[in-house]
C-alpha cells in the first residue's frame, strides 16, 4: 500500500530550495540585507533599498548621518548626491579630476580642507565631510529660495558650479522670471550656450555670461533630476533622525 504524499512537507522543501537559490544569487538573505549593526528591521517595515545603497550604508551610513547633522544638511540628500556622483565608489575619479565619494575637485577640496582644518583629503570619510560642507555652503548661496527650489539650485551648482547657476539666474531675471525658482533657472540654463549670444549681449557688458558659454547644460539638468529622484526614494524609505544604524 502506497504511503500518502505529505503535501505540506513538499511545499516546505520547495520553499527552502527557493530561498537557498535566492541567497546564492544575491549573496544575502532578506534579513541580512536590511539589517544595520546586526539589528534586523521587522519584516513589516523593511525598506526597499537596493543592494548598492545597502552595502554603502553598512560601512559609512553612521558617518554620513552624523556629519550631515553636524552641518545641518539632510543626510538623505547627501546620500542621493553620493550615489549620483560616484555610485558609492571611494576611488572614483572623473575626467575633470574630481575625486572620491563626493567627487571633489582638487582646488575646491584644498580650499575647504584649509578652511576647516581637514588634513587628509584622500580619506573616504574626510571626502564625504568636504562634500557635505560644500553642499551646505551652496545651499546658503540661495537664501531667497525656499524648499525644493533651494535644494535643486544647490544641487545644480554642485554639478556645474555656482557661477553657472548665477548666470542662469541673471537670464531668468532679465526675462521676468523668478531667479529663485528652479523651473525658471532650469529653463534659463540652455540660454547660456553660444547660440544665444544676441540675448546675452543685453545682459552682460562683456556680451557673454560671467563664467563663459555653457554648452553642457543638458548634463546638469539630468544630474539634478537624478539626484532628486534618489532623494525622493531615500526620504520615503529612510527616517531622517531615527537611529537605525
Task: Judge whether 192 and 167 are in contact, CB under 8 Å.
Answer: yes
For residues 93 and 104, what is the distance between their CA atoms, to the nearest angstrom?
A: 9
CA dist 45 → 62, 143, 174 (Å): 20, 37, 50
Task: Judge whether 138 and 158 are in contact, CB under 8 Å.
Answer: yes
Is 48 labeled as catalytic in the residue annotation? no
CA dist 183 → 61, 158, 176, 186 (Å): 32, 17, 13, 5
For residue 140, give the nearest of 130, 151, 126 by alpha carbon.
Answer: 151
Choose, from 43, 70, 85, 152, the residue flagged as catalytic: 85
Computed on alpha carbons and rounded to an integer, the radius of gyration of the chain in Å comes to 23
Q: Which residue has the cell 555653457?
A: 214
Catalytic site positions: 85
Amino acid at each position: 500500500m502506497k504511503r500518502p504524499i505529505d503535501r505540506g512537507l513538499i511545499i516546505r522543501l520547495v520553499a527552502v530550495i527557493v530561498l537557498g537559490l535566492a541567497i546564492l544569487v544575491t549573496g544575502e538573505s532578506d534579513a541580512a540585507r536590511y539589517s544595520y549593526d546586526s539589528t534586523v528591521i521587522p519584516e513589516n517595515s523593511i525598506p526597499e533599498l537596493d543592494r548598492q545603497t545597502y552595502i554603502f550604508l553598512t560601512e559609512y551610513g553612521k558617518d554620513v548621518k552624523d556629519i550631515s547633522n553636524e552641518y545641518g544638511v539632510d543626510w538623505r540628500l547627501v546620500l542621493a548626491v553620493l550615489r549620483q556622483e560616484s555610485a558609492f565608489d571611494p576611488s572614483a575619479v572623473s575626467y575633470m579630476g574630481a575625486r572620491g565619494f563626493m567627487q571633489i575637485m582638487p582646488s575646491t577640496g584644498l580650499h575647504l580642507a584649509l578652511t576647516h582644518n581637514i588634513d587628509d583629503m584622500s580619506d573616504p570619510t574626510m571626502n564625504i565631510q568636504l562634500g557635505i560642507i560644500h553642499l551646505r555652503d551652496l545651499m546658503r548661496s540661495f537664501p531667497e529660495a525656499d524648499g525644493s527650489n533651494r535644494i535643486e539650485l544647490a544641487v545644480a551648482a554642485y554639478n556645474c558650479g555656482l557661477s553657472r547657476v548665477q548666470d542662469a539666474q541673471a537670464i531668468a531675471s532679465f526675462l521676468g522670471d523668478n531667479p529663485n525658482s528652479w523651473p525658471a533657472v532650469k529653463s534659463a540654463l540652455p540660454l547660456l550656450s553660444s547660440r544665444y549670444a544676441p540675448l546675452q549681449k543685453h545682459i552682460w557688458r562683456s556680451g557673454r555670461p560671467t563664467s563663459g558659454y555653457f554648452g553642457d547644460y543638458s548634463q546638469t539638468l539630468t544630474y539634478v533630476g537624478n539626484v532628486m529622484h534618489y532623494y525622493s526614494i531615500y526620504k520615503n524609505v529612510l527616517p531622517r533622525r531615527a537611529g537605525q544604524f
